[in-house]
Amino acid sequence: MNILIINASPRKNGLISNMLGIMRARIEEKGCNVEFVRANDLAVKPCTGCMSCRKSAKCVLPEDDSQRVLKLLQDADAVIVGAPCYWGNIPGQLKLLFDRMVYGMMRDTPRFPEPLMKGKRAILISTSTTPYPFNRLFNQTHGAIRALKEILGYAGIKLVGTIERGGTQMHPELSDKDRRKCEKLVDKLF
């Protein structure tokens, strides 16, 4: 099994990075192949909104890291996306990336969009300084997860589970419970 991990946190020792590290180690223990991408290390130009990719299934912009990540996603059986909540949503660099990959993820038809990534599965994780239960009730981590569900849902990628970890300012360290949650969720892929 091939698993792609996309880390949208710029903080190398933040909670998202640490949770993804635990998940990565668990996957590697099972002998699966992991590709790991940090959104902030990518060179991706913003989508110009020309819509020509909807017909040609190609982007008119010069090739950059968005095509490379799209290929990794196409080759993956499952994707794990870690995104801290920024303004009740996902960080801009991750949004840029998904905007540029739209033609490989869904196809416009006169009626409903056609998903191009059926059969793949996803795990989503988000963090916020807003503590539980307000991170969920006020669409903080929940806003980031909702945005990711929208994107992956149109691609036909099935959700295996999510982790929403609030209160990161008051509790900046992962607890044993957080660690176990990460491992248990990853185990659902096998």
Ligand X SMILES: Cc1cc2nc3c(=O)[nH]c(=O)nc-3n(C[C@H](O)[C@H](O)[C@H](O)COP(=O)(O)O)c2cc1C
Q: Which residues bind ligand X (CB under 6 A)?
A: 9, 11, 14-16, 84-88, 127-130, 140, 168
Q: How far is the CB of 11 from ligand X (least distance, A)?
A: 4
Closest residue to ligand X in the complex (CB):
14
Q: Which is nearer to ligand X, 9 or 93 (CB)?
A: 9
Q: How far is the CB of 156 from ligand X (least distance, A)?
A: 28
Q: How far is the CB of 126 from ligand X (least distance, A)?
A: 8
The 10 Å Cβ neighbour count of residue 107 is 14
CA-CA distance, 181 to 123, in Å (whole number)? 12
Q: Which is nearer to ligand X, 107 or 136 (CB)?
A: 136
Q: Which is nearer to ligand X, 107 or 146 (CB)?
A: 146
- State how far the alpha carbon of 131 is from the alpha carbons of 56, 83, 165, 185, in Å: 45, 16, 8, 21
Q: Which is nearer to ligand X, 46 or 92 (CB)?
A: 92
Nearby residues of 78 by Cβ (< 8 Å), 6 or more positions away: 1, 2, 3, 4, 120, 121, 122, 123, 160, 189
Q: How far is the CB of 60 from ligand X (least distance, A)?
A: 30
CA-CA distance, 98 to 92, in Å (whole number)? 10
